[in-house]
Amino acid sequence: MSESSTKDTQQKRQQQAKVLRVFRKVHRLTGASLFVFFFVIALTGLLLGWKKNSGGLILAQSHKGTTTEMTKWLPIDSLHTLACKALHEQVDPTLSLTLDRIDIRPDKGMVKFVFADHFQGLQLDLATGRVLHAEERRADFIEKIHDGSILDFYLGTSNGPIKLFYTTVMGLALLTFTVTGFWLWYGPKRMRK
């Protein structure tokens, strides 16, 4: 092997080692600065993955109404009135009645009323309007922590700017981890060649 060829190989290795050091530093700094957030995302993601298998602890069981026959169901506005009344009488009279969504389960003959300003929900029988279950919506709370929108919720910011910033930073950090992690694995292999 010629002297210039050996010099070129050494320079190449030095350059690869320099790049490897930079990637290692970026990987380490990203991990150290965002450790708490990655921990929270991992923990809440794990809980959300298990929500349907939590025995009702994270996600309430969907109860069955008396009939799945639509012709026997009460009108939605009547069910909404009954849900609002039940929320104040059975849960807490000070809770907001602002509705987030209505989730109709035709196969169960049941409707869920989910409120916007708190984590309480009600399941009503579509035919009788009877309350089947008053639930604390833990899965919704955990999801808001997972995606960062919990701060928008408590601070009352509209259009989710905190969630957008949080998911952008965490997405870019995960992308950075992926690229630098791959290079930390592949770089030494490449240098040995």
Number of domains in the chain: 2
Tell whether 116 and 170 lie within a shared domain. Answer: no
Is the domain of 107 the same as that of 162?
no
Note the pLDDT of residue 21. Answer: 85
In a domain, 143, yes or no: no
With respect to residue 56, please indicate whether it lies within any of the assigned structural domains.
no
Note whether 29 and 80 are same-domain residues: no
Tokens of 158: 């509209």
Looking at residue 178, what is its pLDDT?
Answer: 87
The answer to whether position 149 is within a domain reads: no
CA distance 58 to 63: 15
3 state DSSP class of 57: coil
Same domain, 29 and 89: no
Residue at 44 is within a domain: no
Residues 69 and 106 both lie in one domain: yes
Amino acid at 107: D
pLDDT band at 6 (very low <50, low <70, confident <90, very high): confident
Residue 128 placed within a domain? yes
Mean pLDDT score, 16-34: 83
22 and 83 both lie in a single domain: no
Task: Please write the tens of the pLDDT for every residue from 122-145.
Answer: 999 999 999 999 999 999 999 999
pLDDT in tens, 92-120: 999 999 999 999 999 999 999 999 999 99
Question: In this structure, is residue 108 part of a structural domain?
Answer: yes
pLDDT value, residue 127: 98
Q: Are residues 82 and 124 in the same domain?
A: yes
Query: For 44-97, what is each residue's pLDDT tens digit?
Result: 999 999 999 999 999 999 999 999 999 999 999 999 999 999 999 999 999 999
Task: Please list, in sequence order, all residues whose beta carbon lies within 8 angstroms of the beta carbon of residue 171, skipping any fewer than 6 positions away.
Answer: none
Question: Residue 150 domain-assigned?
Answer: no
Residues 79 and 122 in one domain: yes
The tens digit of pLDDT for each residue in 146-161 reads 999 999 999 999 889 9
Query: Which tokens in the block code for residue 159?
Result: 């259009």
Could you list the residue range(s) of the whole structural domain that residue 122 is in? 61-136
pLDDT of residue 171: 93
65 with 115, same domain: the answer is: yes
Encode pLDDT of 114-126 as tens digits.
999 999 999 999 9
3-state DSSP helix/strand/coil percent for the chain, to nearest 5? 60, 15, 25
Q: Are residues 165 and 106 in the same domain?
A: no
Residue 191 has pLDDT above 70, yes or no: no
In the DSSP assignment, the letter for residue 86 is H
The span from the CA of 89 to the CA of 111, in Å, is 19
Same domain, 132 and 166: no
User: Do 26 and 80 belong to one domain?
Assistant: no
Residue 18 lies in a domain: yes
Query: Where does the pLDDT of residue 193 fall: very low under 50, low under 70, confident under 90, or very high at 90 and above?
Result: low
